[in-house]
Amino acid sequence: MRIVSRILAARNARAGRPLTDVELEDLTQDTLLTIWRKLPTYEGRAALETWTYRFCFLELMNAVRRKARAPVLLDEIVERAAPPEGDGGAGISHYLRHLTQREAQVLHLRHVEDLSFAEIAEALETSASSAKTHYYRGLQKLRSLREGVR
């Protein structure tokens, strides 16, 4: 479970260190407790460490939002957390760079951070139906781009 503190530290660093070391320590405790409670839902479809990643991201995102009291920092987290451009055709940024910022955020939160639409809506301070609409539009846009290439 040491990976939890390391994931939090790594993601915090990528987001521009919005949390201090002391805040990260507290967050590690909170996240471990969350994971402990969610452990019965682990189905073994991914490595345990990879499964914990989702909770680390959610807790970090919520902590930054509480601290900043503004959704704008979330945008920074999502943007900065995305891998750099040119990471090869298989990278998720290869897909998302063709979309509007909001569509890219929704698809990123859905597929990379593995969040539910309810969680995405909370993160983006919007409704679940709006998140779903952006998701659908984003997917359709990617499909059209692929059609154009064929």
Partner 1 sequence: MSGEARDELLQRALTGDLSAPERAAVGDDQELAELEELARELDGAGARERERRVAEARALGAAPGEARTARVIERIARPRSRRVVLAAAAAVLSSVGLWWASRGSDAVGDATRIDGGVLLSGGAFERLALEASPRGGVVATWRARNPPDPARYDVVFRDPAGGGILLEVRDLEGTTWTLPRPAVASWPEEIRWEVRVYDRTGNEHGFGAAEARLPR
* Packed helices 48-68 and 21-38: angle between N→C axes, nearest 10 degrees: 130
Select from 7, 61, 64, 99 the one that contacts partner 1 (CB under 8 A). Answer: 7
**122 touching partner 1, by CB under 8 A:** no
Select from 17, 38, 80, 146 the one that contacts partner 1 (CB under 8 A). Answer: 146
**18 touching partner 1, by CB under 8 A:** no
**117 touching partner 1, by CB under 8 A:** yes
Two tokens, residue 78 = 């999502």
Minimum distance from residue 97 beta carbon to partner 1 (Å): 13
Q: Which of residues 26-85 bind partner 1 (CB under 8 A)?
A: 26, 28-30, 32-34, 46-47, 49-50, 53-54, 66-67, 83
Q: What is the DSSP string of 9-65?
A: HHHHHHTT--S-HHHHHHHHHHHHHHHHHHGGG--SSS-HHHHHHHHHHHHHHHHHH
The answer to whether 34 touches 55, Cβ cutoff 8 Å, is yes
The answer to whether 43 touches 26, Cβ cutoff 8 Å, is no
Q: d(Cα 7, Cα 108) in Å, to the nearest integer?
A: 18
Minimum distance from residue 42 beta carbon to partner 1 (Å): 15
Q: d(Cα 32, Cα 29) in Å, to the nearest integer?
A: 5
Minimum distance from residue 106 beta carbon to partner 1 (Å): 10
Chain residues binding partner 1 by CB under 8 A are 1-11, 21-26, 28-30, 32-34, 46-47, 49-50, 53-54, 66-67, 83, 90-92, 94-95, 107, 110-114, 117, 132-133, 135-136, 139-140, 142-143, 146
